[in-house]
Amino acid sequence: MSARRKARILAFQALYAWEASKSSVEELLSLNWLDQGKLSQMDEETLAFTRLMIAQAVENATEIDRRITRHLAHWPFERLKKVDLAILRMGVACLLFQPGISPGISIDEAIEIAKEYGSEESYKFINGVLDGIRRDLESERMRQPI
């Protein structure tokens, strides 16, 4: 498993914990919730990328949730499964704040995490929402003056 995939999984887990227990950002970023044996095996680049994704998602949760909500067809935001919401928040943060990473890679990574941690249908749902947000972002960029 790649270092970036590990970082994304850790970010997803932190965002799940944040939603479930309303842990503070400081707690999430400290990674103290992670098994210390696993933590000691992680390289600094992986940990830095994990912390970056967590911070981007939490600090911009209002904007991220607004974008997610726009792509929920006949489904209230409050009814989203916490696992799906955490994966979506991580994926949207990547799409919004990591322009150096291909949107396709960000979406594919979220889909793979959904297949592993979500329900049987999660990956399809997450793919649809993230792809809609990707298209919105492309349209927004096309409308920006040069």
Residue 91 backbone dihedrals phi, psi, to 5 degrees: -65, -45
pLDDT score for 142: 82
pLDDT score for 123: 95
pLDDT score for 1: 58
Q: What range does the domain containing 46 cover?
A: 3-143
Total tally of structural domains belonging to the chain = 1
- Consecutive sets of 10 residues in the chain, 146 residues long: mean pLDDT of each? 85 91 83 76 87 94 96 88 96 94 94 95 94 92 74
Cα dihedral value 47, 57, 107, 77, nearest 10? 140
CB 32 within 8 A of CB 94: no
pLDDT score for 81: 94
Element (H, E) at 86: helix 82-97
CATH of the domain at 62: 1.10.940.10
